[in-house]
Amino acid sequence: MVYLSGISLAILPREDRSKLIALLSKLRDQGTVIAFDSNYRPALWESADSAREWYQKIYQLTSLALVTNDDESDLWGDVTIEDTQARLAGDGVEEIIIKAGSTGCYYQHTGQFSQPQHIPADLVEHVVDTTSAGDSFNAGFLAGYLQGKSPETCCQMGHRLAGTVIQHKGAIIPEGATRPVTDSF
């Protein structure tokens, strides 16, 4: 598996983005799963058009998309979760996870023509800082994914880790806070 985000693309010069796309294409042809989190940050891009151009290239190689509803809406103008799912499925993304904050996430495996599944997140009563919530979700999800767990279990693992992280200040929290969660993985 290769995992990257929109930030990975944004910080590269254009010629290096092209090299990255070529390498990812070769890796995908060899059976490597390409996982992509859009993580759209407008300030890192020269324009929204440029971001859309490069995201489009990545999505066409992506096996597993871990996107955030707000980012997709900001960049693509998607109004609903279904808009995002349809667009990503049209690009050939096989597995789509759309993170929707405190309401949970939506999972769809397009290759099996399954209906999107909503996987709710547990309520977190004491939210301190949502910095790194999406990254934490991705880490929990991918830990389960790489162990061959069901998509629902992977999503629940992502929710548990993100729910722990947002109860602390900053993106890097004490290991002792996440240890009980990650030990259960």
What value does the mean pLDDT of the chain take? 93
Q: Active site includes 16?
A: no
Give 8-46 pLDDT, tens digit per residue. Answer: 999 999 999 999 999 999 999 999 999 999 999 999 999
φ, ψ of residue 77 in degrees (nearest 5): 80, 15
Q: Which of 122, 129, 135, 183 is catalytic?
A: 135
Does pLDDT of 157 surpass 80? Answer: yes
Contacts of 78 (CB under 8 A, 6+ apart): 69, 72, 84, 87
Give 71-117 pLDDT, tens digit per residue. Answer: 999 999 999 999 999 999 999 999 999 999 889 999 999 876 667 89
Six token digits for residue 159: 């929710």
Give 118-135 pLDDT, tens digit per residue. Answer: 999 988 889 998 888 899
Amino acid at 29: D
Rounded Cα distance between 14 and 20, Å, is 10
For residue 48, the model assigns a pLDDT of 97
Residue 90, Cβ density class (10 Å: 0-12 exposed, 13-18 middle, ≥19 buried): exposed
For residue 112, the model assigns a pLDDT of 67
Selected residue with higher pLDDT from 180 and 150: 150
pTM of the model: 0.91
- Domains annotated for the chain, with CATH where assigned, are 1-119 (3.40.1190.20), 121-185 (no CATH)
Does pLDDT of 2 surpass 90? Answer: yes
According to DSSP, the residues that pair with 42 across neighbouring strands are none
Give 46-56 pLDDT, tens digit per residue. Answer: 999 999 999 99
Nearest in space to 71 (alpha carbons), one of 92, 109, 101 = 101
Strands 2-5 and 105-109: unpaired
Question: 73 in helix, strand or coil?
Answer: helix
